[in-house]
């Protein structure tokens, strides 16, 4: 999986390409630990090239969500692909995030 | 260090000398009193606006001695060299703080005054409760500073509104050194009456809300849901009973999923929008639609390897089924998502997808 990011003020924009499966989620979690600094309030995840998300991927999203929510921040997911959208729906998680 | 000469008489100069030599004791007392006040107030769970203390400055004491030095025999008669202040939000908390001070410090009752009660029936003023105290040995003692337990200090206890009034009154009417015309003083005193009423109203509002919350909690706990109007407070109390826990766990069992605890509070606006007016309406939703909500979850999660769900999924599925069974269709689902996530083009796609899955389920045949 390929991760690109850009930080503007207290907003971190991330673009994830490929499959967010168990192995990639471990890598993404590590990346998140290193890049989700205390100054980050809002996170925007561009999902247009994210073709698959597993339970491990959902756990990473929940970690980001639970980190920024106490900071009054939001996690926005942009351009969901059908598989990712469906997984978020059936787990009840779609209602937690801003979906653009 | 150069000693300033204030031109005081011999008696007052001696008191000032005492002050200079005892200044370190007063500073130590300040530290003890502040620490103790913070600790006992915090231990009691009281939430106050300010706890502060100061040791009177030498210039200020000299000015006081110049004006009324003959009143004092020794430094111990000047009881406000160390002054502490506790400012509360509500008037009844002034008395709660006072009872704590009585418990932990030795109060000199002959010198302490409740200025709140001093005003004549036809006058106003908005003053505080003042205690003159000593630090008891059982609280703190230091053989090298025996005066720690003999010198007195003052604690003022007042509300924020009393504090505002007293500060402005002091600043305008007293500190400026210029005699203020009576009409201005009269206006300040009228304001004092208004603030006193405001303090009373704040207390009344708080106790009314507390009573209401207790009553609602009792009704929720006793299961009298039809008597409880749906609002933020009542919904929170209801959620504490974990009404959707059983359905959530049943859904989790489909894939042995982990349940991530998430808030169901955002669903309140959806429930209100769908015409749920009492907790009994939500109970009816839970009882009447749980089987169908499970059927929906099973059709969505079964056959996948997803082993994590949000704890709000049960309420979400219940509302999905409610909308579909009541003929809301795709449009109704889209409105649900718009209300929860804000409007977006994705909500339409999502509604279509969920509607398509649900269309194959038996409960859709029994639309109401």
DSSP A29-88: HHHHHHH--TT--EEEEE-TTEEEE-HHHHHHHHHHHHHHGGGT--EEEES--HHHHHHH
- For residues B202-207, average pLDDT: 92
Residue B310 touches chain A, beta carbons under 8 Å: yes
Angle between helices B245-254 and B279-301 in degrees, nearest 10: 0
At B342 the pLDDT is 82
- Considering only residues B217 and B122, tell me which one the structure prediction assigns the higher pLDDT: B217
- B341 contact residues in A (CB cutoff 8 A): 94-95, 97-99
Q: What is the pLDDT of residues A42-62, one digit of tens each?
A: 999 999 999 999 999 999 999
Average predicted confidence (pLDDT) for chain A = 91
Quote the pLDDT of residue B114.
Answer: 66
Tell me how close the Cα of A99 comes to any Cα of chain B, in angstroms: 7
| Cross-chain CB nearest to A89 (options B307, B311, B354) | B354
Say yes or no for a CB contact (<8 Å) between A92 and B266.
no
Q: Which of chain B's residues have a Cβ under 8 Å away from the Cβ of A85?
A: 346, 349-350, 353
- At the topology level of CATH, where does B10-203 sit? Beta Polymerase; domain 2 (3.30.460)
Is B300 in Cβ contact with A89 (below 8 Å)?
Answer: yes
Shortest Cα distance from B367 to chain A (angstroms)?
Answer: 22
- Cα Rg of chain B, angstroms: 33
Q: What is the mean pLDDT of residues B205-225?
A: 86
Domains of chain A in start order, with CATH, are 2-99 (3.30.750.24)
pLDDT of residue B361: 92
Q: How many CB pairs under 8 A join A and B?
A: 72
A29 touching chain B per CB within 8 A? no
Q: Does A93 touch chain B (CB under 8 A)?
A: yes
B183-192, B254-263, B316-325, B351-360, range with the lowest pLDDT: B183-192
Q: Whose CA is closest to B254, among B313, B294, B311?
A: B294
Hey, what long-range contacts does A32-39 have (CB within 8 A, 24 or more apart)? A32/A60, A32/A63, A32/A64, A35/A5, A36/A12, A36/A64, A36/A67, A36/A68, A39/A10
Q: Note which residues in 326-355 of chain B have CB less than 8 A from chain A.
A: 337, 340-342, 344, 346-347, 349-350, 353-354
Q: In this complex, do A98 and B341 lie within 8 Å of one another by their Cβ atoms?
A: yes
Six-digit token string for B62: 């000299």
Look at residues B84, B88, B85 and name the one whose alpha carbon lies nearest to residue B44: B88
The answer for A 60-89 residues in CB contact with B (under 8 A) is: 62, 80, 82, 85-87, 89
Nearest-angstrom CA–CA distance, B329 and B11: 93
B175 pLDDT above the threshold of 80? no
The Cα B236–Cα B265 span in angstroms is 7
φ, ψ dihedrals at B249, nearest 5°: -65, -35
For residue B184, list its beta bridge partners.
none
pLDDT bin (cut points 50, 70, 90) of residue B148 is: very high
By CA distance, what is B319's nearest residue in A?
A: A92
For residue B330, which of B345, B302, B349, B308 has the smallest C-alpha distance?
Answer: B349
Could you tell me if B270 and B319 are in contact, meaning their C-beta atoms sit under 8 angstroms apart?
A: yes
Task: Kindly state whether A97 is in contact with chain B, defined as any CB-CB distance less than 8 angstroms.
Answer: yes
Among the partner residues A59, A89, A95, nearest to B312 by beta-carbon distance: A95
Q: Assess whether pLDDT exceeds 70 at residue B121.
A: no
C-alpha distance from A61 to closest chain B C-alpha (Å): 12
**What is the rounded distance in angstroms from the CA atom of residue A93 to the CA atom of residue A62?**
9
**Across the interface, do B349 and A85 touch by the CB < 8 Å criterion?**
yes
pLDDT in tens, B36-90: 999 999 999 899 999 999 999 999 999 999 888 888 999 999 999 999 999 999 9
Domain boundaries, chain B: 10-203, 227-366
User: Is A91's Cβ below 8 Å from some Cβ in B?
Assistant: yes
What confidence score (pLDDT) does residue B8 get?
86
pLDDT of B134 over the 50 cut: yes
Of A55, A86, A91, nearest to B310 by CB-CB distance is: A91
Q: Is the four-CA dihedral A28, A34, A38, A41 of positive or negative sign?
A: negative
Determine whether the interchain pair A59/B266 forms a contact, defined as Cβ–Cβ distance below 8 Å.
Answer: no
Q: Are B346 and A80 in contact (CB under 8 A)?
A: yes
Question: Residue B310 pLDDT > 70, yes or no?
Answer: yes
Judging contacts by C-beta atoms under 8 Å, the chain A residues touching residue B354 are 89
**Distance between B255 CA and the closest CA of chain A, angstroms:** 11
How high is the pLDDT of residue B341?
Answer: 82
């Amino acid at each position: 999986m390929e991760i690109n990011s850009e930080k503007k003020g207290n907003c971190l924009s991330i673009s994830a390409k490929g499959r967010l499966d168990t192995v990639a989620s471990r890598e993404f979690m590590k990346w998140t630990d290193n890049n989700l600094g205390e100054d980050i309030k809002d996170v925007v995840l561009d999902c247009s090239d994210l073709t698959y998300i597993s339970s491990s991927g959902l756990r990473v999203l929940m970690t980001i969500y639970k980190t920024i929510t106490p900071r009054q921040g939001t996690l926005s997911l942009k351009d969901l692909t059908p598989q990712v959208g469906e997984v978020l729906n059936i787990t009840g998680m779609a209602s937690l995030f801003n979906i653009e | 260090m150069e000693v300033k000469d204030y031109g005081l008489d011999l008696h007052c100069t001696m008191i000032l000398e005492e002050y200079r030599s005892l200044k370190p004791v007063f500073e130590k007392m300040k530290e003890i009193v502040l620490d103790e006040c913070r600790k006992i107030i915090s231990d009691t769970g009281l939430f106050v606006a300010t706890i502060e203390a100061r040791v009177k400055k030498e210039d200020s004491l000299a000015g006081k001695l110049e004006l009324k030095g003959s009143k004092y025999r020794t430094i111990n008669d000047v009881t406000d060299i160390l002054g502490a202040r506790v400012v509360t939000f509500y008037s009844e908390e002034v008395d709660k703080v006072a009872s704590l001070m009585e418990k932990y410090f030795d109060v000199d009752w002959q010198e302490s005054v409740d200025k709140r009660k001093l005003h004549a029936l036809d006058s106003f003023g908005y003053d505080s409760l003042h205690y003159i105290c000593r630090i008891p040995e059982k609280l703190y003692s230091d053989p090298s500073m025996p005066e720690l337990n003999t010198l007195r200090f003052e604690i003022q206890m007042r509300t924020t509104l009393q504090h505002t009034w007293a500060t402005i009154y002091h600043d305008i009417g007293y500190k400026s050194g210029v005699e203020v015309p009576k009409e201005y003083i009269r206006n300040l005193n009228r304001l004092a009456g208004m603030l006193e009423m405001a303090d009373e109203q704040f207390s009344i509002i708080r106790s009314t809300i507390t009573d209401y919350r207790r009553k609602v909690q009792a009704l929720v706990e006793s299961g009298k849901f039809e008597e409880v109007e749906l609002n933020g407070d009542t919904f929170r109390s209801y959620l504490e009973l974990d009404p959707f826990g059983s359905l959530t766990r049943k859904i989790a069992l489909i894939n042995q999923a982990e349940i991530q605890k998430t808030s169901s509070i955002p669903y309140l606006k959806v429930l209100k929008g769908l015409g749920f007016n009492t907790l009994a309406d939500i109970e009816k939703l839970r009882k009447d639609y749980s089987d169908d909500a499970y059927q929906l979850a099973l059709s969505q999660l079964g056959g996948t390897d997803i082993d994590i769900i949000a704890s709000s999924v049960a309420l979400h599925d219940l509302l999905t089924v409610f909308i579909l069974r009541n003929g809301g269709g795709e449009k109704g689902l889209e409105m649900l998502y718009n209300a929860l996530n804000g409007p977006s083009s994705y909500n339409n796609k999502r509604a279509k997808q969920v509607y398509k899955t649900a269309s194959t389920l038996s409960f859709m045949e029994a639309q109401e």
